[in-house]
Amino acid sequence: MMKHITQTIMAGIVAVSLGLTALSAAPAHAETEADALAEGIEAYDTFKYDEAAAILKPLADAGNAEAQYRIAYLHLLGKGGMPESPERLFSYAEKAEKQGHLGARLMVAEAYLEGSGTKQNIAKGIELTRSVIAAKTASNANIADAHLTMAFLYEEGMGVAKSPKKAVEHYKKSQTANSDKFTLIYLVDLLDDGHGGSFEQEVDWYRQLAAFGNARAFAKIKAHADQGDAHSQYIVGNVYYGDQTFGLRNATNIGDIERNGQRNWEYWERAAKGGIGEAAVKSVGAFTRGMPDNEQLAKAAYWLKKAPTMKFLDESNRAQAFIALGDAYFSGRRSASIPKDLTKAEEHYRKAKHGDGLNEVAKAHLYAKDTAKNVPKGFALLQECAALDNAKCQFNLGLNYVFGLGTERSYEQALKWFDLSATNGYARGKSFADDLRRRGKLPDVKPDQ
């Protein structure tokens, strides 16, 4: 019999529930079937099972596939007044599956494989599971669960010729579709038993499991890091810091690994020296945390300048790295090796398409803040960043048209940019636009006011 088959089912409903949360913003009183379904899903997803059952069961009995799927799960859980009943679970799931509901298809497949609520039919269970993998509309969660089931089957030799190698292939596909700690544990178990490639060929799967704080995988990745591998050094630094796989910080430990605030600095810097941009970004934070000394500040400045152009850096983080470097040049207070330099600040803000930063540089030129007054330059920068849909830039560009700063005064242009600023969420843009409309003309002001 397959191991952890119920876990596979439960993982599926959690993933599907999360995926359908967006449907849950329903009106207080349902007026249509869609409204009622959304209310039922909202009740289900917030564990109000009695309320969910009261709403969803009539819909399920009327033929709604999603409601049938949810009611099937209530019979699995024995919640909402629905008794635990493999037979009723199968009945509702089968009705939903016949309407093309892929989550329900997986549920029916599991029932056939285990002979739960229906006569066991392993061949039918495998056929349904494979059809989910082949379905173009399957969600990542559905695909992951289907591959996980096939991995179990090949590992146990149930309905298929036993093949740890094929089990490994399906575990990998499941993990690629939807990351899961337990899938990685099953996969690494087989890899450790020699059913995959060499450690160097399979190392990324060990890194993924180490990132969850698994002691066995972490020990191997740490040894790999200590042999000089930069990618593994980065993972070790993350785990010692308490930086979990999904970007969450644990104040103490991750899994079986104790947090170590000193060692994470060491491993991140070693990874950065090995060319890992993400590690360079984190090194900047590590070396400026607390009360840094001059040596630490110098290291932070070094990696601050290096990080934006390094490899192995997510593009969203690359933009943030350019912004951080722009901020350092704009303030001139980060480090002696990064003096105030508006030209370099502008350069890095531009690379990040950072409107707020360009807005500050523009104001410095317009109002002679720590630099010589250069109105044309400031006005041109406001035009550039306003085109990025930056609300503050649009507001300040409107002010320039009010005061005639770097341009001719224009009621129409001022109103246009105040309105755009308001549309993009800047409250002062709306108040200034409203004031201009009340006046019906520009106020009597001069550029130096």
CATH code: domain of residue 385: 1.25.40.10
Strand partners, 243: 249
Stretch (H or E) spanning 327? helix 315-331
Helix%, strand%, coil% for the chain, nearest 5:
70, 0, 30
pLDDT for res 447 = 65
Asked if residue 335 belongs to a domain, the reply is: no
Last residue of one domain, picked from the residues 128, 161, 194: 161
pLDDT for res 248 = 40
Last residue of one domain, picked from the residues 161, 195, 211: 161
Last residue of one domain, picked from the residues 144, 161, 178: 161
Q: Which residues contact 444 (CB under 8 A, 6 or more apart)?
A: none
Conformation bin of residue 406: beta by default, left when phi > 0, alpha when psi is -120 to 50: left
Asked if residue 148 belongs to a domain, the reply is: yes
pLDDT for res 16 = 44
Asked if residue 19 belongs to a domain, the reply is: yes
Identify which of 176, 190, 96 has the alpha carbon closest to the alpha carbon of residue 133: 176
In the chain (449 residues long), the average pLDDT of successive 10-residue segments reads 48 43 39 90 95 96 96 95 96 97 97 97 98 96 97 97 98 96 96 96 96 93 97 94 49 66 87 97 88 88 96 95 96 85 96 97 92 94 97 97 95 97 96 95 78
Please state the domain count of the chain: 2
The residue range of the domain holding 370 is: 354-449
- Tally of residues, the chain: 449
3-state secondary structure of 338: strand
Contact call for residues 177 and 143 (beta carbons, < 8 A): yes
Asked if residue 138 belongs to a domain, the reply is: yes
Asked if residue 216 belongs to a domain, the reply is: no
Asked if residue 29 belongs to a domain, the reply is: yes
Question: Model pTM?
Answer: 0.80
Asked if residue 287 belongs to a domain, the reply is: no
3-state secondary structure of 347: helix
Stretch (H or E) spanning 254? strand 253-254
CA atoms within 13 A on the CB side of 247: 2
Asked if residue 201 belongs to a domain, the reply is: no
